[in-house]
Amino acid sequence: MMERKDLFKKVGSLIEEEPRLVRLSPQGKAVFVGDTHGDLEAAQEVIRRYLKKPYTIVFLGDYVDRGDRSRENIHFLLGMKLMHPDKIFLLAGNHEGFQAKPFYPVNFWDSLSLEEVEEY
């Protein structure tokens, strides 16, 4: 398994190169997935079912908080994005924007050290 800092660096570079507007191909089908909130099994099931032709998967954000496996969920989704950059798109939801606009309750962000908050 890739170290967290390496994963963040590689995915960050990949995402910075992508245009801000997601353009989906007129061919095929798109699956939109919202609010997995730490439900790793749900995210894995979506990948299992739809990471194949003719699908493109667009995750709509809110990968953390509320569920027990927020850290594993976000790491899994980032790893999948790295392996399948043209088939998986990860949008940021309000739970990923906690540093910009804090809100409560949050269990993921409260569980992190200050260094980890900066990394995420």
Nearest residue to 72 (alpha-carbon basis) of 15, 102, 111: 111
* Residues classed as catalytic: 95
Q: With beta carbons less than 8 A apart as the criterion, state whether 32 and 60 touch.
A: yes
